[in-house]
Structures are given as structure tokens and as C-alpha cells.
Amino acid sequence: MPHIFYVSEISEDTAFFDEEETHHFRVVRAVPGDIIEATDGKGRIYRIELVELKKRWTRGRIVEIIKEEAPPEPEVTAFVGASRWQRMKFVVEKSVELGVRSLVVFKGDLSHPGSEKEELDKYRRTAIEAMKQSRNIWLPRMSFYPNLEEALQKASYESLIVAEMTGEKPLQKLCAGLVQPVAAVVGPQEGFSEKEKELLKNRGALFLNLSQNILRMETAFIVLVAFAMNSVRK
């Protein structure tokens, strides 16, 4: 069975799978006694024997831990202003693929109406699917804040970089290196308000001009996070 699954809860040698993963078991026609591989999203892959498959949950027995990985390096927390679902879905998927340690969604002053905390469950489910597809076995920590100021207050970082087309520092000229943990901030598709720009400036942010062209929010996200991943001072 080539698939990797997500185990939502582990208690001693017992593994529990939620309704979503139970549905996936049905799709691949898994039955009690099958041996599957599953990750807990915390750096481990287990070999698990399925014991009981119900309508909304599945129970299994852990046979062994077959892989353990340290958290992804460097430590990057990505901040993104809440935007429409299709853009956010793309951002969440790329966060996992790039190895972001934490993803913080904030409701920007210019965010599209309706971008609320309830979306966090959808983001998490998307992240789980991306984790399984990419075989990155660390699930980013995910959180939502009603504004950028509160999101930054709760964060811990040494370097703060911001994607902003009017940025003072062109990306290609910033070569001194960043100190981790790094906070990489991208606004919603509509951009940052003047109040948010002032807040970031007061926190010592480096405003980076990512391109001579206007980038979509999700494109700016990939460029900024990839830059952060490769610019941490060794």
C-alpha cells in the first residue's frame, strides 16, 4: 500500500485516525490486519497494523517507528494576510512543501471580508494533505489572529522581513544574512495598510522589493519564504 496516512492521536502503542483518514482507508480498500505507514506530523513515521475500522474513526496498533526527523531548518515562521480561499489554499500547500515551521494567518486591514478564524480547520486539513503528498513529516503549527499587531506580539523572531513592492531593499542586494528564527510577512492580496506598514517599520522590519513586476500574493509568499530559507546566517 503506497500511501502515507496521518495519525491524529497516539496513546502508548495505539493509534487513532479521524473521519477523514478513515474515508481514505475505504478508498484504498484497507481492512483490519493491513499494515500501513502513517505520520504524526511531528517528525515520525510509524508502521501500523489496522485493528478496527468504524464509520467515523479507525484504531490501529503501532508496530514500530520506522523514521524520525528533526524539525526543519532554518526556523521560519510565515505570516500571511488572510485572502480568498483559493489563494490561501495554495499558500498553505507551499508552506508545507517549503518546510515552514509555523504558519500565522492574520486578518489584515485590507483583507477580503469573511476571512475568519473558522477557516483555520480548512487550512489545517489542506496542510495535512500537502504533508502526505510531499513526505514532509512535520506539520506546521497554525494560528489565526484578528490583526497583524497581535500576530507579531505573540511571535518570537530575530529577523523580520516583509514583502512590499515599495520596499527600500531590493531582494538581490540583501546578502548579509538573516538570524533565525525568521518571521516572513506577506500581506493579503490587497496589500498592507499604512498603519500596518508603520507597525512593521517600528518593529525593525526589512522591506523587500521582490520583483520589478507586481506579484500575486501567493507568488510573493513563495519568493519571500524561499529567500528566508536560503539566507539564514550559518
Confidence at residue 230, expressed as pLDDT on a 0 to 100 scale: 84
Confidence at residue 210, expressed as pLDDT on a 0 to 100 scale: 85
Note the CATH architecture for domain 4-68. Beta Barrel (2.40)
Confidence at residue 3, expressed as pLDDT on a 0 to 100 scale: 81
**pLDDT digit string (tens) for 169-182?**
666 566 557 889 99
- pTM value? 0.88
Confidence at residue 123, expressed as pLDDT on a 0 to 100 scale: 93
Lay out the sheet containing 141-145: strands in order across: 141-145, 102-106, 76-81, 182-186, 159-163, 206-209, 169-170
Residues 96 and 136: their CA atoms lie apart, in Å, by 7
Domains in the chain: boundaries: 4-68, 76-230
Which residues is 14 bridged to in the sheet? 11, 61
Residues 233 and 105: their CA atoms lie apart, in Å, by 26
Confidence at residue 147, expressed as pLDDT on a 0 to 100 scale: 95
**pLDDT digit string (tens) for 194-203?**
999 999 999 9
**pLDDT digit string (tens) for 134-151?**
988 999 999 999 999 999
Q: Span 76-230: which CATH code?
A: 3.40.1280.10
Residue 30 pLDDT exceeds 60: yes
Residue 53 pLDDT exceeds 70: yes
C-beta separation of 145 from 201 below 8 A: no
Confidence at residue 71, expressed as pLDDT on a 0 to 100 scale: 92
Which residues is 68 bridged to in the sheet? 44
- For the record, the C-alpha cell of 63 comes out as 508496530
